[in-house]
Structure 1
């Protein structure tokens, strides 16, 4: 398996007739799409790109060169994780990742929306520390408190219910990365397991979800990438083990 990120001048890998995800291994938004496809148990190829030296062809799939982008038919793609991730859930009905109740689907979207301030605080703490303000730390912890209250209110192991769903896979990539912040000298962002006992239990449960387990990176690994990016030289290929483009097939759901 390779985690090599293709860059300017590299050729576009041959299209094999499967869904194909263009991603960056450390991008939380791209991870959302990977988790959804893993959970849907559909077959797909995964191509990583260097976001600092983008291959020319990525703009054919994502006009701004952002990831993720999902090629659903040769040369045809959709982009933006919030748009992409609804598509496989509707295209491949089982297992359903969204609630059947329209009101619950709307409430799930509100959870994601209300968590964006915590996500923004993470990005500032990780990559632009001089701009970090006390209010951002407050917003971060308000986000954690909000999630814990939602878990308590719903009374289920996951926000989706008894199994992880789209709302969980949308939030998880940031929770995964939050654990790296104390390792880079940001102790104020630690998730206190006494204060956030229910949330901590949820985090551990998410780590054991098969769709997450197949793609999960440790806090230490995320910390190393954050530090490399903060130095101006992001080590995209720190996980690479070969010189072949990474493709991860999944067994297709019949």
Structure 2
């Protein structure tokens, strides 16, 4: 398996006849869709792209030049993780990832919306630290406390219930990366277990979910990528060992 990121001038690999995801290996938004596809045991290929030097054909599937983008039929694509993931959950209902209760689905969307401030604080801390302000640290921790309170109120192992669902797979890619912040000198963002015991236990439970375990990267790996990007030379291919194109088959859906 290769995790080489294709860039400007590289040819688009031939279409393999199944779902194809355009992603960047260190992008939390792309990871959201990977986790959903894994959880649904879908068969798909992955093409990783260099977002600093984007291949020209990416715009055919994502007019904004962002990832993830999903090629659902040859030459036809949709983009944005939230749009893709709802589409996948409705198109492939055998492993449902959303509640059948409209109110619970709305509440899950509110959880994700309220978490956006935490995500913004993370990006500032990781990639624009000179702009970091005290109120951003406060926003970050308030958001984590609110998420922990929601977990406590629901009283289930995961936000979705006994098993993780769309809301869990939407938030976890960021929680995965938060653990890298102290490793890049941002100790004020640490998830101290004495304060976040329930949340830390939730994160640890998510790490061993099969859909997550297939794609999870350690805090040390995320820290290395953050450092490389901040030096002006993001090392997109730090995980690639094969030197061949990154077509990544998934287990065939039964």
Q: TM-score, normalised by structure 2?
A: 0.99
Structure 2: gaps of 5 or more residues: none
Residue 30 (structure 1) aligned with residue 30 (structure 2): yes
1:102 aligns to what? 102
2:205 matches 1:208: no
Q: Determine if the alignment matches structure 1 residue 147 to structure 2 residue 147.
A: yes
What runs of 5+ residues in structure 1 fail to find an aligned partner? Answer: none
Cα distance in structure 2, aligned partners of 1:61 and 1:75: 8
Give the corresponding residue for 1:226. Answer: 226
Q: Which residue of 1 aligns with 2:124?
A: 124
Determine whether 1:50 maps to 2:50. yes
Number of residue pairs aligned between Structure 1 and Structure 2: 254
User: 1:209: how far off?
Assistant: 0.4
Aligned to 1:70: 70
**Whole-Å separation in 1 of the counterparts to 2:247 and 2:158:** 29
- After superposition, give the CA deviation of every residue in 1:86-124 in whole Å (9 maximum; x if it has no partner): 111111112110011000000000000000000000000
Query: Following TM superposition, by how much is the alpha carbon of 1:248 offset from its aligned partner in structure 2, in angstroms?
Result: 2.2
Length-normalised TM-score, structure 1: 0.99
> Displacement of 1:46 after TM fit?
0.2
Superposed CA deviations along residues 117-157 of structure 1, whole A, max 9, x for unmatched, are 00000000000001000000001001110110000000000
Please report the RMSD computed on the Cα atoms of aligned residues, expressed in angstroms: 0.6
Distance 1:251 1:186 in 2: 38
Report the Cα distance in structure 1 between the residues aligned to 2:253 and 2:106, rounded to whole angstroms.
27
